């Protein structure tokens, strides 16, 4: 493979290259991605720390492994909420600048056991509190399709690292859309599995009731492969599920045939106040699923007018509980935005929190009733393309709202219900920026979600970012764009 092909290859393509020895070894592959990451990171701000020596040790171990699978020798990186033994877990904040992990998070252990190679820790919105991914301490990850735009957050570095070709897949967390939003804005596949499907042991929490661990990849098949590897019960996580793990990879072999699936379209709220191009391409996606044999019907979801308030009323007291141990000695090290959020948590009463939790239970019951009629739901992932860095508000039609409210409008509800949700690219907007479509399924039915996503993936092929075709490196791209 040429260097650019290698940088933007899928896991399966890289695995095939290692198996055929077109790629000489895991160490050679690791060295390629390390050099690329070091060269580009100063400008795209994807990594907080590139752990070169650890990666080379992992690669050498992979060189000597006899029983190899598809993740053998494949590089990855993780949002800097995931513990990696001997490496700092900063959560993107000065508050934890000296916080070195003693052991690997469960998902890191499982990936390393499969031969995957950890390349380092990825940037994020401080403590995952925010959807823009802007970070005053470690820099703001930029969008690979337009450096004046956000990569999206809070898993901003996780999206930028894959979009810029620094690693083929990443781990992130999703509390209100923090995997799906950056994946959609960056032209990638983002998977938030069922709540409890993937262990959160060793992952610094933001909101215990809403946090999900998930992945950002280039393809749906890659998402299926990683989920197959890291899903499953974990005694170290009391919220992890003992539901059997399906063979997600095998399920994709049926991607051309959706005859058995009923797909619901919730046109109220989820198809309102959105960019017309995003709505139009979502309709094309619906037509494509119908052409693959799926039955498509309109459905009504619960009323959404209070969902953001419910989510915040759960998030902020839980975040306050997490951070109360640091506030007295390190409170001055938090960003202004995060301190404001903590203050909100202090103002909420136990009564408010309990009511919000009861509303979450009601939302789950209501949407489970919808899933008695359909197998999947489809919506746009975001109502807008990637906003500009520093842009506080956005107007869509006659609707003006804060950026954070806008770009999580279609995602945060499914964190409260805990259902699996996947975003796949649905084309490029006329402004040259990616759009995404979201597939939501029943609890633990990730196989069906991935199956539908794979069918859409075949329909919507978007070009990789073109900065490398015009400039020798991202630094020149950034400099030219600023002039």
pLDDT band at residue 475, thresholds of 50, 70 and 90? very low
**Residues 330 and 430 both lie in one domain:** no
Name, in order, each residue with C-beta under 8 angstroms of 372's C-beta and a sequence gap of 6 or more.
Answer: none
pLDDT at 68: 75
Q: Residue 354: is it exposed, middle or buried by C-beta count within 10 angstroms (0-12/13-18/19+)?
A: exposed
Tell me which residue range forms the domain holding 189.
3-306+354-482
User: How confident is the model at residue 482, as a pLDDT?
Assistant: 33
**What is the full DSSP assignment across 365-416?**
HHHHHHTTT-SEEEEES-SSSPPBTT--EEEETTEEEEHHHHHTTTTTHHHH
Please give the Cα distance from 416 to 359 (Å, whole number): 9
User: What is the pLDDT, as a whole number, of residue 255?
Assistant: 66
Quote the number of domains for the chain.
2
Same-domain status, 358 and 323: no
Catalytic positions are 79, 154, 178
Measured between alpha carbons, how far is 262 from 304 in angstroms, rounded to an integer? Answer: 23
Domain boundary among 353, 388, 414: 353
Instruction: Output the pLDDT for position 470.
Output: 38
At residue 473, the pLDDT reads 44
Give 457's pLDDT tier (boundaries 50, 70, 90).
very high
Q: Are residues 297 and 343 in the same domain?
A: no
Per-residue pLDDT at 477 exceeds 80: no
Chain segment 254-303, per-residue pLDDT in tens: 767 899 999 999 999 999 999 999 999 999 999 999 999 999 999 999 99
Tell me, yes or no, whether 293 and 382 share the same domain.
Answer: yes
> Same domain for 340 and 360?
no
Write the pLDDT tens digit of every residue in 98-155: 999 999 999 999 999 999 999 999 999 999 999 999 999 999 999 999 999 999 999 9
Best mean pLDDT range from 243-247, 255-259, 459-463: 243-247
| Cis preceding linkage at 154, omega within 30 | yes
Q: In terms of domains, do 179 and 72 share one?
A: yes
> Alpha-carbon distance 285 to 255, whole Å?
14
Same-domain status, 235 and 333: no
Report pLDDT for 468.
Answer: 45
Q: Could you report the per-residue pLDDT of 361-396, keeping only the tens digit for each?
A: 999 999 999 999 999 999 999 999 999 999 999 999
Q: Does one domain contain both 22 and 117?
A: yes
State what percent of residues in the chain have pLDDT above 90.
90
- Per-position DSSP letters for 6-60, written without gaps between them: HHT--HHHHHHHHHHTSS--HHHHHHHHHHHHHHHHHHH--EEEE-HHHHHHHHH
* pLDDT for the residue numbered 17: 95
Residue 462's Cβ-side half-sphere holds a number of Cα atoms within 13 Å equal to 28
Tell how many helices (H) and how many strands (E) occur in the chain: 19, 15
Query: How many angstroms separate the CA atoms of 3 and 36, rounded?
Result: 10
- Mean pLDDT for the chain? 94
**pLDDT given at position 467:** 55
Both tokens assigned to 364:
């789950």
Per-residue confidence (pLDDT) for residue 167, from 0 to 100: 98
Domain end among 353, 387, 411: 353
**CATH code for the domain in which residue 171 is found:** 3.90.1300.10
Annotate 83-96 with DSSP letters as a single string.
Answer: --TTSB--TTSGGG
Residue 483, pLDDT > 90, answer no
Q: 320 with 399, same domain?
A: no
- The pTM of this model reads 0.95
Least confident of 316-325, 334-343, 432-441, 443-452: 334-343
Instruction: Answer yes or no: do 7 and 37 share one domain.
Output: yes
- Does 472 share its domain with 385? yes
The pLDDT tens digits for 3-29 are 889 999 999 999 999 999 999 999 999
Asked if residue 474 has pLDDT above 90, the reply is no
The whole-angstrom separation of Cα 9 and Cα 167 is 9
Q: Choose among 325, 420, 440: nearest CA to 379.
A: 440
> Are 206 and 105 contained in the same domain?
yes
């Amino acid at each position: 493979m040429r260097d650019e092909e290698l940088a933007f290859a899928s896991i399966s393509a890289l695995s095939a290259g290692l198996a055929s020895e077109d790629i000489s070894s895991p160490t050679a592959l690791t060295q390629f991605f390390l050099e690329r990451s070091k060269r580009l990171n100063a400008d795209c701000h994807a990594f907080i720390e590139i752990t070169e020596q650890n990666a080379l040790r992992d690669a050498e171990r992979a060189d000597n492994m006899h029983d190899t699978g598809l993740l053998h020798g494949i590089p990855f990186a993780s949002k800097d909420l995931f513990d990696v033994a001997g490496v700092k877990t900063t959560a993107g904040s000065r508050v934890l600048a000296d916080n070195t992990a003693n052991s690997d998070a469960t998902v890191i252990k499982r990936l390393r056991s499969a031969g995957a190679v950890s390349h380092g820790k990825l940037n994020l919105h401080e403590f995952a509190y925010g959807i823009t991914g802007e970070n005053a301490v470690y820099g703001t990850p930029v969008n690979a399709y337009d450096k004046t735009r956000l990569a999206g957050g809070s898993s901003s570095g996780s999206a930028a690292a894959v979009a810029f070709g620094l690693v083929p897949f990443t781990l992130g967390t999703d509390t209100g859309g923090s995997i799906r939003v950056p994946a959609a804005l960056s032209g990638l596949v983002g998977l938030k599995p069922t709540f409890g499907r993937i262990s959160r042991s060793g992952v610094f929490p933001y909101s215990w009731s809403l946090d999900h661990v998930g992945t950002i990849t280039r393809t749906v098949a890659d998402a299926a492969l990683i989920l197959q590897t890291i899903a499953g019960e974990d005694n170290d996580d009391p919220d992890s599920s003992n539901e059997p793990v399906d063979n997600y990879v095998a399920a994709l072999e049926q991607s051309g045939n959706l005859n058995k699936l009923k797909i619901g379209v919730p046109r109220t709220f989820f198809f309102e106040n959105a960019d017309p191009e995003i709505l139009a391409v979502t309709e094309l996606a619906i037509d494509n699923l119908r052409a693959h044999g799926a039955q498509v019907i309109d459905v009504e979801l619960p009323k959404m007018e209070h969902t953001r308030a419910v989510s915040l009323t759960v998030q902020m007291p839980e975040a306050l509980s997490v951070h109360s141990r640091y506030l007295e000695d390190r409170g001055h090290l938090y960003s202004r935005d995060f301190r404001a959020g903590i203050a909100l948590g202090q103002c909420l009463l136990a009564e408010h929190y309990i009511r919000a939790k009861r509303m979450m239970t009601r939302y789950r019951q209501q949407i489970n009733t919808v899933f008695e009629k359909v197998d999947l739901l489809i919506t746009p992932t975001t109502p807008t393309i990637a906003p500009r860095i520093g842009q506080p508000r956005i107007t869509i039609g006659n609707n003006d709202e804060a950026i954070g409210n806008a770009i999580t409008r279609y995602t945060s509800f499914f964190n409260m219900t805990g259902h699996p949700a996947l975003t796949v690219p649905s084309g490029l907007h006329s402004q040259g920026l990616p759009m995404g479509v979201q597939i939501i399924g029943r609890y633990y039915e990730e196989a069906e979600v991935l199956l539908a996503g794979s069918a859409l993936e075949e329909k919507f092929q978007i070009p990789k970012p073109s900065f490398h075709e015009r400039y020798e490196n991202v630094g020149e791209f950034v400099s030219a764009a600023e002039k």
